[in-house]
Amino acid sequence: MGFYSKYILPSFINLACKINSITKQREKVIPLAHGNILEIGVGSGLNLPFYDKNKISKLTAIDPSEDLWKKVAVDLKKLPFDFEFIKASAEELPFADKSFDTIVVTYSLCTIPDANKALIEMRRVLKKDGVLIFCEHGKAPDKNVLLVQQFVNPVWKQMAGGCNLHRNIPEILENSGFKIQDIKKMYIPGWRPACYNYWGTATAI
């Protein structure tokens, strides 16, 4: 791991994911989670303040980056629910089949190297009546913005730790065995090529 990846990139990601428009998106979806919850790509724990303590039996969070997790600003000892962090890859989840009532993934599908494989794993560990809650940026509907996404993406991906600007989030979900129950799409404030958001819920087929 190089100097940039270890020391600069985690700070860049943490700052980018803390901007106000993204925080407002987190506030919309995180309170929907309930029961035994798995969060994919917890990063520095930016979703933690928005969980509804009255709906949670346990929250398990994974991320492959311990350097990013070390930037967690929440006092974990004061969380009002049972919490566990595990260093793990989304493509190989270390959990038994049908373990979780809710899986939460926010601003992570853009970066996971094999998003389809990761979602297939999520489907495996989600209970039959469980729900996937997602909030992601991705492919823009406007031709000019999409052209910028495609042009910039190779450099952006290198600089932003593997983040892809133009993944087709609904298509990836459906191709991985999920049925979208509810979805909203819009630009949030910011640089438009990185700010077309998809959020909602899905269930395993």
- DSSP state letters, 60-104: EEEES-HHHHTT--S-GGG-SS-EEEEE--TTS--S-TT-EEEEE
| Residue 155 Cα to chain centre, angstroms | 21
Q: CA-CA-CA-CA torsion for 162, 165, 171, 172, nearest 10 degrees?
A: 10
2: confidence class by pLDDT, cuts 50, 70, 90: confident
First CA to last CA across the chain, in angstroms? Answer: 39
Task: Tell me if the pTM is above 0.85.
Answer: yes
Six-digit token pair at 32?
């929907």
Alpha carbon distance 205, 73 (integer Å)? 37
Which of 1-10, 153-162, 186-195 is least confident?
1-10
Q: Is residue 41 within 8 Å of residue 70, measured between CB atoms?
A: no
Q: Kindly state the average pLDDT of the residues 20-27.
A: 97
Domain ranges of the chain: 3-204
Q: 134-160: per-residue pLDDT in tens?
A: 999 999 999 999 999 999 999 999 999
Question: Which residue, chain included where needed, has tokens 């798995």?
Answer: 38
Higher pLDDT, residue 11 or 59? 59
Q: 29-70: per-residue pLDDT in tens?
A: 999 999 999 999 999 999 999 999 999 999 999 999 998 999
CATH of 3-204, one of 3.40.50.1980, 3.40.50.150, 2.60.40.10, 3.10.180.10: 3.40.50.150
Q: Is residue 135 within 8 Å of residue 199, measured between CB atoms?
A: yes
Question: Which residue, chain included where needed, has tokens 């593997």?
Answer: 162
Alpha carbon distance 57, 129 (integer Å)? 16
- Mean pLDDT across the chain, nearest whole number? 95
> Which pLDDT score, from 0 to 100, does residue 7 have?
64
Closest to 74 measured CA to CA, from 44, 43, 38, 104: 44
100: confidence class by pLDDT, cuts 50, 70, 90: very high
Alpha carbon distance 105, 195 (integer Å)? 17
